[in-house]
Amino acid sequence: MRRIRSSAARAFLGAAAVLGLLLGAFLTLPGAAQAAGSQPCDIYAAAGTPCVAAHSTTRALFSSYNGPLYQVTRASNGGTADIGVLAAGGYANAAQQDSFCADTTCRISKVYDQTSRHNDLYPGPAGTAGGVDRGADAAELAVTAGGHKVYGIWISPGVGYRSHGAASGAAVNGQPEGAYMVASGTHVGSDCCFDYGNAESTPADTGNGHMDAVSIATTCYFAPCNGSGPWVEADMENGMFQGDNGSNTANAGNKSAFVTAVLKNNGQTTYALKGGNSQSGGLSTWWNGGLPTRGGYRPMHQEGGIILGTGGDNSNRNMGTWFEGVMVAGYPTDAAENAVQANVVSVGYSGETNVPNGPQGTITGPGNQCVDVAADDTGGNGSAVQLWNCQSYAEDQFWTHHTNGSLSTIGRCLDINGNGTAAGTQVELWDCNGVGGQVWQQRSDGSLFNPQSGRCLDSPSGATGNGTRLQIWDCNGSAAQKFTLH
């Protein structure tokens, strides 16, 4: 259906958009606990395209919002806490998380929708292209917003969130909609899929045009592409589109630490993609034209589910870093999107986005290799603990040393198989449970000593190759037992 408006209606919406732009310009400088003036959802509402979903772990996206941003769950006892804002319209209370999660690990178990529609996001169920998702480590990535410490969501393979079925108010069956997210242009990958936006109501690929989600990735799905990315793209199911029917060499990509990625789609004939540096400047329009003429995209067939960090069929093999995002009803104006970008820039996001920087650190062993968990950040109980080339983006190479002596990564602890004590017993990943086989003491000779067994973490025969399975062995001061916590 074509959108037809009277001249009076166009004038009203244009004035509203300008008002939103002006309001966005009057935000307080970063540093205030409460951000005065209009936030992104206020700007969109003033332009006639209200938010139907608003998610963030860093700040309120309405100037009046004073509720929870996200929920964390402790690994130690399963307790939960809602992390809110310092003041209405303000920034996340990271100190609340730090206090609640002290000396244990926490996962983000829910991301609250700040609209009245309660389109909250939860770790996703298994889909036709990926197993059950786990919540992100809540302390994996700390950055600064508005002068305050806040946490982003570090997406690794196996991490992802989804609404429970179709979300209230989200576009379906060719309705117009818009979305933006603030994510990282430095922690990205090419696998499927690091998305935020409209997806199937159940985690299965139901055909072309059944998704309308914004993505930033190095996925060149339709060659040729301009450079190596990452690019802001539209995942409209069975294709990561940069423009037209997929390929668009005018899309030069967005490589900044913080990227504002924007998508809008009228559901019938037209869509647009934009990207910008979330720390400065405006938006670049990478595509503003026709929807793909491949079958199924004219009109669109959205189902109104919401995803974060995965694909519509729960393809959960990619990585990324995410901070905030909204979905709106209707086709947003350029003026509203420009005002939202100005608001994002006013936040003053800063910090590294490509390396986990919470309380975790790497453990280097023989050959300067890293202590790693098999299965690429998805390790469950019994997963092998091994040596592997150090990779800055590998979540399972970042360990937290707790005051009870345990070492944990991706929500589980370095454990001796069967709580054994015999020389040669292999180590593994297991639920943290406080047993003696999970206690490790760093000693002055560089070894990691397990008091229960009286033995040290060891690489068999001093091997240093990728995939070398670690064990316990009689402490001997050799290079095979030198492990450094960073």
pLDDT tens, residue by residue, 461-473: 999 999 999 999 9
Task: Report the distance separating Cα 347 and Cα 280, nearest Å.
Answer: 10
Residue 8 has pLDDT above 60, yes or no: no
- pLDDT value at residue 12: 36
Closest CA to 311 of 239, 231, 417, 418: 239
Residue 478 has pLDDT above 60, yes or no: yes
Average pLDDT over all residues of the chain: 91
- pLDDT value at residue 2: 27
Residue with the bigger pLDDT between 438 and 360: it is 438
- pLDDT value at residue 1: 26
The letter for the amino acid at 367 is G
Cis peptide preceding 299, ω within 30 of 0? yes
Q: Could you say which of 237, 303, 372, 428 is catalytic?
A: 237
- pLDDT value at residue 349: 98
Mean of the pLDDT values across residues 36-64? 95
Mean of the pLDDT values across residues 222-244? 97
- Has this prediction a pTM greater than 0.75? yes
Give SS3 for 139: coil
- pLDDT value at residue 368: 95
pLDDT-based confidence at 30, cuts 50/70/90? very low
Residue with the bigger pLDDT between 449 and 395: it is 449
Please report, for residues 183, 233, 326, the alpha-carbon distance to residue 254 in angstroms, rounded to integers and kept in the order given: 11, 11, 20
DSSP secondary structure string for all residues of 168-198: TT---TT--EEEEEEE-SSS--SSS--EEEE
Confirm if 296 and 209 have CB atoms less than 8 A apart.
yes
Mean of the pLDDT values across residues 406-421? 92
Residue 26 has pLDDT above 50, yes or no: no
Looking at domain 20-347, its CATH class is mainly beta
Mean of the pLDDT values across residues 252-268? 98
pLDDT, tens digit, 9 for 90 and up, residues 206-226: 999 999 999 999 999 999 999
Residue 21 has pLDDT above 80, yes or no: no
Mean of the pLDDT values across residues 357-362? 80
Looking at domain 363-485, its CATH class is mainly beta
Mean of the pLDDT values across residues 37-60? 97
- pLDDT value at residue 27: 38
Beta-strand (E) ranges in 187-309? Answer: 195-199, 212-217, 231-235, 240-241, 259-265, 270-277, 283-290, 305-308
Closest CA to 59 of 338, 255, 278: 278
Task: Report the distance separating Cα 466 and Cα 460, nearest Å.
Answer: 13
Q: Which residues contact 454 (CB under 8 A, 6 or more apart)?
A: 421, 475
pLDDT, tens digit, 9 for 90 and up, residues 78-130: 999 999 999 999 999 999 999 999 888 899 999 999 999 999 999 999 999 99
Task: Decide if 313 is catalytic.
Answer: yes
- pLDDT value at residue 14: 43
- pLDDT value at residue 22: 39
Percent of the chain with pLDDT over 70: 92
Phi, psi of 290 (to 5 degrees): -70, 145
pLDDT, tens digit, 9 for 90 and up, residues 169-189: 999 999 999 999 999 999 999
**Sign (positive or negative) of CA dihedral 19, 25, 28, 34:** positive
Residue 29 has pLDDT above 70, yes or no: no
- pLDDT value at residue 103: 80
Task: Report the distance separating Cα 303 and Cα 292, nearest Å.
Answer: 18
Residue 394 has pLDDT above 90, yes or no: no
- pLDDT value at residue 153: 98
Task: Report the distance separating Cα 283 and Cα 99, nearest Å.
Answer: 38
Q: Could you say which of 42, 200, 313, 377 is catalytic?
A: 313
Mean of the pLDDT values across residues 25-32? 40
pLDDT, tens digit, 9 for 90 and up, residues 330-344: 999 999 999 999 999
- pLDDT value at residue 330: 98
- pLDDT value at residue 9: 37
Task: Decide if 372 is catalytic.
Answer: no
Residue 10 has pLDDT above 70, yes or no: no
Mean of the pLDDT values across residues 426-435? 93
Longest C-alpha distance within the chain, in Å? 84
Strand bridging mode 385-388 / 400-401: unpaired
What are the boundaries of each domain within the chain? Answer: 20-347, 363-485
Task: Report the distance separating Cα 346 and Cα 8, nearest Å.
Answer: 33
Confirm if 333 and 14 have CB atoms less than 8 A apart.
yes
Hey, how many other C-beta atoms are within 10 angstroms of the C-beta on 343? Answer: 24
